[in-house]
Structure 1
Amino acid sequence: MREDFLHYLWKYKKFEIKNLKTTNGTPVLIRSTGEHNVNSGPDFFNAKLKIDEQLWAGNVEIHIKSSDWYVHNHERDPAYDNVILHVVWEHDTEVFRKDQAVIPTLELKHYIKAEILNNYKALFSKQNSWINCANDFASIDDFILNNWMERLFFERLERKSKVIETLLEASRNDWEAVLFKMLAKNFGLKVNGDAFFSLAQSIEFSIVRKSQSNQNTLEALFFGQAGLLDQDVEDAYHLSLVKEYQFLKQKFKLKNSQVLPLQFFRLRPLNFPTIRLSQMASLYAENQNLFSKVIASNDLKYFYELFHAETSAYWKTHYTFQKESKVSAKALSKAFIDLLLINTILPIKFLYEKQRGEDISSALIDIAEKIASENNSIVKAFNGLKKISRSSMDSQALIQLKTNYCDTHSCLKCAVGNQLLSK
């Protein structure tokens, strides 16, 4: 038995509410279960109960056993002085107020339907499965699942926006600077994301602004800060970048000691940091006010055009400085732009409009539903249970579901778990 299950039972009145009686035989009538408190203090605030013809307004505390009141030292905490009912699974001792009056106790196990208890035991007895509800996930009603997925999508946007909020605070609300840092992290993908982010952190965005008119200058700035110009390479392009970077380094007093090393090992050549940094330089060289352009549009086709950035000419015949390769244009692919949209652009737009008091939920859903579903291990596993992920909105929702609910066994907070408990 888990205490959060008792919270669920009380909150949603999943028990026989007629003819309730305290452990002393006093009738109890629930007018309101109160407001669920997820912070410190009693579990439910401002409940309204009629106990033995007396109407009470106050707090409700919930435990597995009555004696947990003393285990948790509530008798010493003034926050629990206004508890009007102690709800427990098993009553094993009386609990007293400071004036020695007994706090009424409701022993919940006598009022629970066998079906709910059996469903609960069945759900939480499968913790060795990939997810607790793996055997029953396909049976969930589509209407409930679709509504839950939409909510999970916005929960994930909220989570991502927390990082953006922190960066905004540090940059004094410079949205362009924050967009640059978030894009840099996602240009680096999983392997080089932290390194690219540390690179972006090492450059005041005002320097990027002053260098945007020339792609070679931006490449010198990015490659130099990343430590990619430290090697002796007999190459005219490399030497020109070294010369430009030395000028920038002295002019802007640049330091790169905190920039994390870049990785090339086990990466596809198109994901080499050299290629991604050149593409990022191209993107900023072509767009002086990128943030304004991102905010101004909700058109997916426009975003694909906006982020269609190619490397400079040198990188059409190279993947590294040391070796020449066949000629090939290296522009950001549609799939890569999708990742930028999912992980940077939508969270940025979500937070910006939220801070302005604007609701663009419908527009964000419209964009996300037009972007192809991700195909990572979590999405594949859910699709194996039920073909459910049709778009990036679905795949982001499933990632949120797995990491924030399934992995933490928070089935009682999940719409899927709730429906299974109520079968």
Structure 2
Amino acid sequence: MQEDFLHYVWQYKKLDVIHLKTSQYEILEIVSVGQHNTNSGPDFFNAQLKIAGQLWAGNVEIHIKSSDWFVHNHETDKAYDNVILHVVWEHDTEIFRKDNSIIPTLELKGYVDSHVFQNYTKLLSAKNKWINCESDFAEVDKFIVDSWLERLYIERLERKSRTIETLLEDSKNNWEAVLFKMLAKNFGLKVNGDAFFSLANSIDFSVIRKLKTNQTALEALFLGQAGLLEEDIQDSYFLELQKEYLFLKQKFQLSHTEVIPIQFFRLRPQNFPTIRLSQLATLYSLHANLFSKIIALDSKKDLYNLFQVATSVFWESHYSFGKQSKLASKKIAKPFIDLLLINTIIPLKFAYSRYQGTDINETLLELIQHIPSEKNSIVQAFNKLKNVSHSALQSQGLIQLKSEYCDKNKCVQCVIGNMLINK
């Protein structure tokens, strides 16, 4: 039994409301369940109840057992002075107000709809399953799943937006600087994401602005801050970058002591940090005011054109210093741009629209639906249960579903779980 199930039962009146009585055998009538509070304090504010014919207005607190009131020290907390009803699954002790009068208690277990409780018990008692509703997920109507995943995607965007707001505050409302940090993190992918983000944090964005037309200087800056220009390599381009970085380091008083070490291990050559940092340098050397350009673009085609940049000439025949490879243009591929759109561009456009007080949700939903579904272990596992992910909107929604609902047993807060509990 979890408290959120009792919250659900109370909020949606999944109980026999006609015959309710308190533990003191007084007739209880629910006029209003109140407003659900997800922060500290009583669980429902401003409820209205009739107890023995007397109208009460105040708060409702919910626990598994009555004795949990004392376990949580509510008897000494002024926030609970206005509780007019204690709702519990099992009533094992009386609780009192400061004047020693009893706070009425409603014991739910005799009033909850039997099929609701049985379905809930079945769902939460699932053992050794990837998700609680694993055996029932395929039965859920496609319209319900699609609608829920769209809502979950917006929820995920809202969560990412809060992270962006923090970056914006740290950057003193400089959206270009926020974009640079987010792009750097995502150019590093999973292996080097944190390292690239720490690299971006080690450079004041004013330095990027001053070097914006000089691709070699930007590349030297990024590779130098990444600690990739410290070896003794007798290569003319390496020596050129090393000399340029030493000049920039002195000029701008740079330090990379707090930059997380860069990794090459378990990376395909096209994702080597040398290649990704060179591409990032090219991007910023070609596009001044990159943030403004991104905000102005809505179509996937235009965004693809913006991000399909290549490395500097040296990396066309190298993946690392000192070792030559087959000659090939190393332009950013569309699958990588898709990741940038999913993890950086769309969240940033969403956050900026909220900052501006505008609503571009429909435009963003249309864009994300034209990006192919991600391929990861979560999406693949859901697709084995039911073929549900056909676009990045759905794959992002599934990641949100698994991490924020399934993994936390929040079945009663999930549309799918709700449907299965009530079937």
Residue in 1 aligned with 2:376?
376
Counterparts of 2:384 and 2:221, CA distance in 1: 46
Unaligned runs of at least 5 residues, structure 2:
none
How far does residue 339 in structure 1 lie from its aligned partner after superposition? 0.3
Residue in 2 aligned with 1:198?
198
How far does residue 148 in structure 1 lie from its aligned partner after superposition? 1.2
Task: Give the residue type in structure 2 aligned to 1:318.
Answer: H
Counterparts of 1:69 and 1:250, CA distance in 2: 63
Q: Determine whether 1:123 maps to 2:92.
A: no
Residue in 1 aligned with 2:287?
287
How far does residue 141 in structure 1 lie from its aligned partner after superposition? 2.2
Residue in 1 aligned with 2:364?
364
The 10-residue stretch of structure 1 (86-95 or 164-173) with the greater mean CA deviation from structure 2: 86-95
Residue in 1 aligned with 2:296?
296
Counterparts of 1:123 and 1:167, CA distance in 2: 40
Counterparts of 1:88 and 1:261, CA distance in 2: 52
Partner SS for 2:256: coil
Counterparts of 2:23 and 2:246, CA distance in 1: 81
How far does residue 320 in structure 1 lie from its aligned partner after superposition? 0.9
Task: Give the residue type in structure 1 aligned to 2:153.
Answer: F
Residue in 2 aligned with 1:353?
353
Partner SS for 2:106: strand
Counterparts of 1:389 and 1:269, CA distance in 2: 29
Partner SS for 2:318: coil
The 10-residue stretch of structure 1 (155-164 or 367-376) with the greater mean CA deviation from structure 2: 155-164
Residue in 2 aligned with 1:31?
31
Which aligned segments of 4 or more residues in structure 1 are displaced greater than 4 angstroms? none
Deviation digits for residues 77-132 of structure 1, max 9, x if unmatched?
22111111111112222222122222222111111121111101100111420001
Counterparts of 1:73 and 1:171, CA distance in 2: 42
How far does residue 7 in structure 1 lie from its aligned partner after superposition? 0.8
RMSD: 1.1
The equivalences for 1:3-14 within 5 A come to 3-14=3-14
How far does residue 266 in structure 1 lie from its aligned partner after superposition? 2.1
Counterparts of 2:347 and 2:114, CA distance in 1: 44
Partner SS for 1:21: coil
Percent identical among aligned pairs is 63
Task: Give the residue type in structure 1 aligned to 2:156.
Answer: R
Counterparts of 1:268 and 1:275, CA distance in 2: 11
Unaligned runs of at least 5 residues, structure 1:
none
Q: Determine whether 1:239 maps to 2:239.
A: yes
The 10-residue stretch of structure 1 (60-69 or 293-302) with the greater mean CA deviation from structure 2: 60-69
Partner SS for 1:347: helix
Residue in 1 aligned with 2:153?
153
Counterparts of 1:41 and 1:225, CA distance in 2: 48
Residue in 2 aligned with 1:269?
269
Residue in 2 aligned with 1:220?
220
Q: Determine whether 1:327 maps to 2:327.
A: yes
TM-score norm. by structure 2 comes to 0.98
Residue in 1 aligned with 2:309?
309
The equivalences for 1:171-186 within 5 A come to 171-186=171-186
Residue in 1 aligned with 2:253?
253
Partner SS for 1:259: coil
The equivalences for 1:44-193 within 5 A come to 44-193=44-193
Partner SS for 2:100: coil
Counterparts of 1:397 and 1:349, CA distance in 2: 18
Partner SS for 1:75: helix
Deviation digits for residues 297-349 of structure 1, max 9, x if unmatched?
21111000000010111111111111111110100000000000111111111
Counterparts of 1:352 and 1:119, CA distance in 2: 43
How far does residue 187 in structure 1 lie from its aligned partner after superposition? 0.4
